[in-house]
Amino acid sequence: MKKNLLYLFAVLTIVASFSGCSEKQDFDQFDDLDITPTVEASIIYIESPENLINLAAGINFFTGDFNFDAFNEDFVAERVLEGLVIYELENTTSKPIDVSFQFLDAAGNILDTESFSIPPAPTAVLRREVAYGGATGRSIDIITNTSAIRVNAINQGDSTSVSSLPDPKIILRSSAQLRIRLK
């Protein structure tokens, strides 16, 4: 009798599990998702000590082109909605310095330029945010077609003075925040 009761209970449990209160699964929910994360990336970091800057009064003490294909990779170029490029420049030297950042396409054409005039120390860190895409930004095509970044820095001061601050130098750094549509 116990055996029959146990057998009946097992059968009822199995039948109940197949006819339980479960909803039909909707695997098309992915189509309803709207995922747009913000991705951050460092672009450029350059340091130049004052003794190197003193060697180039009135001329470029630094000029360089940096390959930067991260923006125009298919995944980014086809999905980027808007971006923000952040520049931070710090000058602890005794020199006024002019700096320009240029975004270049694959053929070397200038897509965009951002220029800075930085007074000699003591100064605060100069920070500038430039928006691309969206309603108020520059064209998003600048971001998606950038293949290289050119940096030029000019010593607008003399070639002999030295800052009284410890370890005088100029620091140039930039980063980007991009909103990307994942699907």
DSSP sequence for 105-124: -TTS-EEEEEEEEEPSSS-P
Q: What is the CATH number of the domain that holds 50?
A: 2.60.120
Give the closest residue to 172 by CA, choosing from 152, 156, 155: 152
Q: What is the pLDDT of residues 63-112, one digit of tens each?
A: 888 988 776 666 666 788 899 999 999 999 999 999 999 999 999 999 99
Strand order in the sheet with 126-133: 38-49, 169-180, 80-91, 126-133
What is the predicted pLDDT for the residue at 18?
A: 60
pLDDT at 163 over 80: yes
Give the alpha-carbon dihedral of 154, 173, 160, 94, to 10 degrees: 110
pLDDT at 177 over 80: yes
What is the predicted pLDDT for the residue at 38?
A: 83
pLDDT at 131 over 60: yes
Helices (H) and strands (E) in the chain, counts: 4, 8
Contact 85, 132 (CB under 8 A): yes
Task: Indicate whether 119 belongs to any domain.
Answer: yes
Task: Indicate whether 95 belongs to any domain.
Answer: yes
What is the predicted pLDDT for the residue at 124?
A: 85
Domain extent, residue 104, equals: 35-180
Task: Indicate whether 51 belongs to any domain.
Answer: yes
Cis check: omega of the bond before 120, within 30 degrees of 0:
no
- What's the mean pLDDT when you consider all of the chain? 83
What is the predicted pLDDT for the residue at 9?
A: 65
pLDDT at 16 over 80: no
Chain centre distance of CA 151: 17
Number of structural domains found in the chain = 1
Task: Indicate whether 10 belongs to any domain.
Answer: no
Q: In the chain, what percentage of residues exceed pLDDT 90?
A: 38
What is the predicted pLDDT for the residue at 28?
A: 65
Task: Indicate whether 86 belongs to any domain.
Answer: yes
Average pLDDT of the segment spanning 10-37: 64
What is the predicted pLDDT for the residue at 137?
A: 83
Give the alpha-carbon dihedral of 101, 105, 107, 112, to 10 degrees: -50
Task: Indicate whether 15 belongs to any domain.
Answer: no
Chain centre distance of CA 162: 34
pLDDT at 8 over 70: no
Task: Indicate whether 18 belongs to any domain.
Answer: no
Choose between 140 and 12: higher pLDDT: 140
**What Rg do the C-alpha atoms of the chain give, in angstroms?**
29
Q: What is the pLDDT of residues 26-52, one digit of tens each?
A: 666 656 666 777 888 889 999 999 988
Task: Indicate whether 125 belongs to any domain.
Answer: yes
Give the closest residue to 95 by CA, choosing from 48, 162, 157, 50: 157
